[in-house]
Amino acid sequence: MLLTALAPGSTTRITGVRAGADASLRLREMGMRAGTTLRLDMVAAGGARIVAVGGARLAIDHSTAALIDVAMP
């Protein structure tokens, strides 16, 4: 399942990231790596996802969120 299909308020685990090398590195630096638990707080205008990872809240644009695989909640 993709992060873009997750409903706001859902908590799940990242199972994989299918982005290119640069985007994957940046996501890992922000804590978005396989095995990490995240909560989708909201879907912003334009489709960006606001997620809570650890103690941080991150904004992930729609096209990048479509490359992040998550487990079924």
Res 66: pLDDT: 96
Give percent above pLDDT 70 in the chain: 100
Convert the pLDDT of each residue in 23-45 to its tens digit.
Answer: 999 999 999 999 999 999 999 98
pLDDT class of 73 with cuts at 50, 70, 90? confident
Average pLDDT value for residue range 3-8: 96
Residue ranges and CATH numbers for the domains of the chain are 3-70 (2.30.30.90)
Q: Which residues contact 35 (CB under 8 A, 6 or more apart)?
A: 13, 14
How do beta strands 49-53 and 37-43 pair?
Answer: antiparallel
Record the pTM.
0.91
The DSSP element (H or E) to which 63 belongs, if any, is helix 62-65
Q: Give the mean pLDDT of 3-12.
A: 96
